[in-house]
Amino acid sequence: MTRIFEELLKKRGIGDDFLSPKYNLGLAEKLPDMDKAIRRIERAINDGETVLVYGDYDVDGVTASTLMHDCLRLAGVEKVFVMLPDRFVDGYGMGARCLERAKKIGATLVVTVDCGSNNAEIIENLKTEGVDVIVTDHHEIMHELPKKAVAVVNPKREINSEIRELCGCGVAFLVMQKLVSLKYIPEGREKWFLDLVLIGTLCDSMKINQANRMLSFYGMKVLKKTRRPGIIELLKVAKTKRINSETIGFQIGPRLNAGGRMETAETALKLLMSERHVVAAEMADKLNQLNQERRIQQNLAIEEISNPEGAVIVVAGKWHEGVLGIIAGRLVEKYHKPAFVLSEVEEGVLKGSGRSFGEFNLAEALKECGSTIIGGGGHAAACGLKVRKEQLGAFRERINHYYKELGLVDQMKYLEPKEEIELETLEEISMVLMDEIKKLEPFGVGNLEPVFLLKGMQIKQVVKMGSEQQHLKLTICDKEQRELKLVAFNAKKDWMELRNGDKQDIWVNLIENEWRNERSVEGRILQIKS
């Protein structure tokens, strides 16, 4: 073990239980209402009922829907259908069309995934029509639990739960685990679905705590040898062969999301559920095209927004509804402020997304906005909401007032890279160290890529890349002239002004580069300061 890796493990308090977690089949017992949910599923199996799985249009929702569909089929439910909401028609959560679809197919049971905790009205309507609902979800509960639901399987119901940070797909997986323990599904079969759990966990930015570490650790093993035609074909169109956190976050996730953002999430669902490569390839190509269109739309929108006012940014315009969340995230990155981005989706009604960081919890903030919003919900760092157009100014005032009342200080620290290892020489940076760092994969919230501060490095070469010269490649060296190549995509403007001979402190993640079967270590630039 290298000195640096040993120091890194010590600082993080990491031991063998993290590096090689044991697979735990008993997590399902820790979810509320699990027994109620299973008893109702058992009845559906025994009585030959028709079941509707109702999901969400994002990555977590699509992976969870795929998993729950296959889970119920494996358990013995012969008639299982899946419905995903249309972002532009239904919005987030369960709407009236869920009832229509349930009645049309003759469903007597609806199982939600990644939604349902805040949809008491539609659940009551379904119950009135003789349709039971099992909610499996992970979102914050904004109101009272839906009383007419057979079960509400949501880790957020318990404040101190060790599985509180599960994604929607993770919750669905624990339902599968429970059915495995009851012998409805052969033991071991469930592990092949951990690739979906991994993708849902990372793309929904869930904290990599002990439970998620176990699930994502084995999920990465499954993903690297996936048999799923949809994933295989998606990797092909993304032109990537390497499987790591970066691949999931920047290649797989955006493409799976593109369907729900730009047209319909059904495309991503068909991709993941497909058993034929020819169908999967068609869906993967479609998602790739939609992802390219998504990039164009978001860039056009970001160009329109300049110097937004307020401690919390609130902007509205005529932008594609599917990219509002991404725009909000980009504004956070650019202005270092929480941001809400809204667009008029129907006359007099604005719909939007919020993004935050640090100690400003969006789910809690929306609770304080009262009548200034029609509705909304989500997580601490991401949310959705609706606002009447005439209430936009009142909402902006209320959310900024709430932010001010919190008295938050030094929020910038949450956006600045925090070095774990400080080096004044490049001597210890090697492929051996790189391979050790890879043992910490997958990276995510709570288990970030290690940050290295390279002190007093000399710039040896500056190369600008890209069609608009927006990317940067540096060659740096230490006092002994040892070299390291660094890259920055969409680099900050002041970084572009660097010159040969400049000495800088540089914060980086170490990344692996492969060229003509030769592996080498490079750095991804996070920050540069004189």
Q: What is the pLDDT along the chain (530 residues), one digit of tens a residue?
A: 999 999 999 999 999 999 999 999 889 999 999 999 999 999 999 999 999 999 999 999 999 999 999 999 999 999 999 999 998 888 888 989 999 999 999 999 999 999 999 999 999 999 999 999 999 999 988 788 999 999 999 999 998 889 999 999 999 999 999 999 999 999 999 999 999 999 999 999 899 999 999 999 999 999 999 999 999 999 999 999 889 999 999 999 999 999 999 999 999 999 999 999 999 999 999 999 999 999 999 989 998 998 899 999 999 999 999 999 999 999 999 899 999 999 998 899 999 999 999 999 999 999 999 899 998 887 788 899 999 999 999 999 999 999 999 999 889 888 899 999 999 999 999 999 999 999 999 999 999 999 999 999 999 999 999 988 999 999 999 999 999 999 999 898 899 999 999 999 999 999 999 888 899 999 999 999 98
Q: For the residues of 242-270, what is the DSSP string, one character each? A: --SHHHIIIIIHHHHHHHHHHS-THHHHH
Q: Where are the domains of the chain?
A: 24-219, 226-297, 308-414, 421-529
Return the DSSP state at 441.
P
**Architecture in CATH of 421-529:** Beta Barrel (2.40)
Angle at CA of residue 378, ends 372 and 383, nearest 5°:
65
* HSE value, Cβ hemisphere, 13 Å, CA-based, for 438: 15
Cβ contact 429:521 at 8 Å:
yes
pLDDT tens digit sequence for 358-399: 999 999 999 999 899 998 887 788 899 999 999 999 999 999
- Tokens describing residue 317: 């315009």
Show the 3-state SS of 351-363: EEEEECCCCCCHH
Contacts for 476-484: CB closer than 8 Å, 24+ residues apart: 476/426, 476/504, 476/506, 477/426, 478/424, 478/425, 478/426, 478/427, 479/424, 479/425, 480/425, 480/427, 482/425, 482/426, 482/427, 483/426, 484/426, 484/429, 484/454, 484/457, 484/521, 484/522, 484/523
Closest C-alpha among 251, 136, 244 to residue 198: 244
Closest C-alpha among 352, 275, 268, 279 to residue 316: 352
Contacts for 409 with CB less than 8 Å, ≥ 6 apart? none
pLDDT tens digit sequence for 474-527: 999 999 999 999 999 989 889 999 999 999 999 999 999 988 889 999 999 999
Query: According to the CATH classification, is domain 308-414 in 3.10.310.30?
Result: yes
Cβ contact 12:208 at 8 Å:
no
pLDDT tens digit sequence for 126-169: 999 999 999 999 998 878 899 999 999 999 999 888 999 999 99
CB atoms closer than 10 angstroms to residue 279? 16
CATH code for the part of the protein at 24-219: 3.90.1640.30
Q: What is the pTM of this model?
A: 0.91
